[in-house]
A and B are shown apart, each in its own frame.
Chain A
Amino acid sequence: MNTSSSAVRVAVITGGSQGLGKALAREFLLAGITTIVDARDDVRLDAAVHELRPYGNLIAIPGDVADKRHAHELVNAAAALGRLDILVNNASTLGEVPLPTIDQLTEQTFQRLFQVNVFAPIHLIQHSLRIMRRTPGNPVIVNITSDAASQAYATWGGYGASKAALEHVSRVLAEELHGTAIRVLVADPGDMDTQMHRDAIPDADPAELRDPANSARALHQAIQHVTEPYQRIRVPGMVSA
């Protein structure tokens, strides 16, 4: 096929204005990857863009991943560049803080949790596959998860259920992508010093939390070295099952 898909790799990261998403965007940009990020809060996104832009070719689009039309916008930007090498479903919500017990979990919170943490990644994946199928090399879908998906922590029921759902979707997706070059990576970044962590556990000792920059570096390494159709990793490094 005599088409013009660019030699420059392209990544989409949802939730790129802070924490792991922002740190990962910087890693990608440093590696020469054109990086498309979004964030719900455009003031914070502007600040992140200001910080990240010197590192490379950054496309920042404000919007909520749960808004289908916005999700398509992100992938369409990649499609316009002719390829999508990495999709990172990083944007997540805790639903409400302080985290409620199952007993206290409202339908509204539960719905928002699944909209942002499950349905939005599914939409993005659905829309990305077409362009990923024609991207050279091994495109990677990265879904950010949490140990709350497998461990039973009090008050983490709603969030944990949404991440467990995302993990299961990821496993099935990998089965369905068998025979294609597309890889699925589920990554648990552990406890990082991020706003999300502060919201969830306000009294955690920052000294015991990982710097998202380190996690991002390790995650980028992992993304470069995914060889299996499906992998679940704990960042940094350790492969669990």
Chain B
Amino acid sequence: MNAAAITGPLTLPSASAPAERRGIERDGVRLLVTNRARSTHTHAHFYDFAEFLREGDLLVVNDSATLPAALRARRSDGTELNLHVATAIDRRLWIAEPRGAATPGEVLQLPGSGRATVLAPLDPQAPRLWFTLFDLPAAMYAYLMEHGAPIRYGYVTEVFPLSDYQTIFAREPGSAEMPSAARPFTPGVLRTLRRHGVGIATITLHCGVSSFEAPERPTIERYSVPPETAELVNRVRRAGGRVVAAGTTVLRALESSVHDGISVASQGWTDLIIDERYRLQTADALLTGFHHSAATHQWILRAFADTTALEGAYREAAAAGYYQHEFGDVHLIV
């Protein structure tokens, strides 16, 4: 996989803070609209999102809420590191990412007399994500709410409250990182969408931790596609409307829940990999953020648009001063 080739020198500057802390509204971020059929790129603002959808289209959103999934951990030698809690496997067993080297069997002390034992890497060839056994004084969600903080990477220089990491659709807690493509949605945008006759349906997919550092395969994530959503997707497509996935998480959930081209209700874990060889069966358009080069994110985009179109979009975005990452600008590919 040569994902880095897409952007290279065109890596966008990272948004270091939420829009509303940069003097604009949530829906004031930029919106680049790439039309694949016409090979055009249009610049807009997110508050005009509805202008690009039509009556009879269906917007599918992820209702997963973000957890404060970063914990401060202490090794037996007293040094500290962050432990990012990514994906629940079972009540004590989670996939987690120690932000530093880990040794199998290593015990990390956590706040409030918690303990994490790093068991084994998910992928021994790339030991970044680890099966980790937690001994906590409370259930994980309650524990994180008390002791955790939102996961933050180097380009976000300040600590922002958890509410900055929730989208307007957030209902079910479980994501280690915000499903950020839907962050710019506001009540105003939703009202306009309804006025335009655009339907809205939800799925749940709990985002694990992103792989910014290495071009790794996406790991498993928990998801659920409810029957109402599956039915709406089928009905809209039959009627000639477009299904717009608000985020690659939505795309992954929808595509994990399809049988013979028909969207079905299902839930569980998905290990589906969407890349340029993948033939999409459920979605016609994708709303997504900008994320740099190596991120597996780029693989998914290639299922939607060819390299030329994506390179063109990134060039346009770079020239117009777009920002990338969870607090950055967004991209609609139709």
Contacts and interface: CB of A to CB of B under 8 A. Distances in A.
Contact of A73 (B89, B105, B274): B89
27 contacts: A2-B273, A2-B275, A3-B271, A3-B272, A3-B273, A4-B217, A4-B273, A6-B123, A50-B105, A53-B104, A53-B105, A57-B120, A58-B119, A59-B131, A60-B119, A69-B91, A72-B90, A73-B90, A73-B91, A77-B89, A77-B90, A77-B93, A79-B89, A80-B89, A80-B122, A80-B220, A81-B122
B317 interface: no
Interface string A1-16: 0111110100000000
A77 B121 CA distance: 12
B277 interface: yes
A3 B268 CA distance: 14
Contacts of A76: 89-90, 93
Given A4-B218, A6-B123, A80-B220, 8 more contacts: A2-B277, A2-B278, A34-B124, A59-B131, A76-B93, A77-B93, A80-B95, A82-B271
A58 B130 CA distance: 11
A149 interface: no
A76 B93 CA distance: 9
A118 interface: no
The 3 closest A-B pairs by CB, nearest first: A73-B90, A4-B271, A59-B120
Contacts of A49: 105
Given A61-B133, A76-B90, A77-B89, A5 B120 contact: no
Most central of B87, B95, B133, B274 by chain A CB within 10 Å = B133
Contacts, number: 64
B143 interface: no
Interface in A205-226: none
B131 A2 contact: no
A130 to B, nearest CB: 9
Chain B contact surface mostly? loop
Contacts of A5: 271
Nearest to A53: B104
A77 B275 CA distance: 26
Most central of A2, A3, A58, A82 by chain B CB within 10 Å = A2
Chain A contact surface mostly? mixed
Interface of B: 87, 89-93, 95, 104-105, 119-124, 131, 133, 217-218, 220, 269, 271-275, 277-278
A3 B220 CA distance: 10
B124 A8 contact: yes
B277 to A, nearest CB: 7
Contacts of B119: 58-61
A3 B273 CA distance: 6
A217 B123 CA distance: 26
Given A3-B272, A4-B218, A80-B95, A58 B90 contact: no
B220 A82 contact: yes
Interface string A31-51: 000100000000000000110
B87 to A, nearest CB: 8
Nearest to A46: B105
Interface in A62-90: 69, 72-73, 76-77, 79-82
A58 B103 CA distance: 12
A82 B121 CA distance: 14
Contacts of B217: 4
Contacts of B89: 73, 76-77, 79-80
A57 to B, nearest CB: 5
Contacts of B272: 2-4
Contacts of B121: 57
B212 to A, nearest CB: 19
